[in-house]
Amino acid sequence: MEDREPDPFSKYTENKLLLNSIFMKEKMEKYSKQLIDKYFKSLLRAHKRVESTRDFLELGMIQDIVADYLMDMQWNVKYDTAHSDFDSNYRFDLVARKEKRTIVVLVQPEINRQSILEIQKEIFNVKKEIPSTRVLLATDVLELPTILEKNSLSDFIVDMAKKYKLGILLVDKNLEYQETWLIPSEFLYA
């Protein structure tokens, strides 16, 4: 059997550090282009392992997987909630808090032109009210090619990563396990 290096951020401590680093510019700058490229290669390997016949995960399932991930990382998570800084009619799929930091998670099982426009509107509203909040788009790992291919949708995602610090959470689930991969906004335009 072939021995290979473990995937970057495959350990709990590395993953936790990456999640906490998204709030600190100086920590994000320490991730080298080489490490980021290696991470994307590991994501592509994970994508290839997913059965191509598997249906896209539903919104509720993605929401549960991301909530589990954030709670494992010691964040306080609330589902489908109004944020105290917003009109009570405005709801988020997930809001996570840790100390003075806040993450708003928008769940989108499939990425298409319409969903990207909705995401952009929601990000703009969040960033206008609380600029220090990080916004993460949670989606199925099957959407990785949509994010990485050079086309208008991926260009739009990269543009939102630059302007609004939009990060991505990719999820996978089968009968034996569930996995979550964080792609910070800085990795998308590195």
In the chain, the domains with their CATH numbers are: 12-188 (3.40.1350.10)
Flag residues of the chain having pLDDT under 50: 1-2, 83, 85-87
pLDDT at site 73: 94
pLDDT tens per residue across span 51-87: 666 888 999 999 999 999 999 999 999 986 554 544 4
Pairing of strands 101-107, 167-173: unpaired
How distant, in Å, are the alpha carbons of 45, 49, 73, 105, 166 from that of 160?
A: 26, 28, 25, 15, 6
How distant, in Å, are the alpha carbons of 32, 47, 48, 60, 175 from that of 57?
A: 32, 14, 16, 8, 13
**What percent of the chain has a predicted confidence (pLDDT) above 70?**
89
Query: CA Rg, the chain, in Å?
Result: 16
Q: Cα(78)–Cα(85) distance, rounded to whole angstroms?
A: 15
* Nearest residue to 97 via CA among 67, 82, 122, 77: 77
Burial of 50-81, coded b for 16+ CB within 10 Å and e otherwise, reads beeeeeebeeebbbbbbbebbeebebebeeee
pLDDT at site 50: 83
pLDDT at site 1: 43
* DSSP designation for 31: S
How many CA atoms lie less than 13 Å away from 185 in the CB half-sphere?
Answer: 21
Q: Cα(125)–Cα(104) distance, rounded to whole angstroms?
A: 11
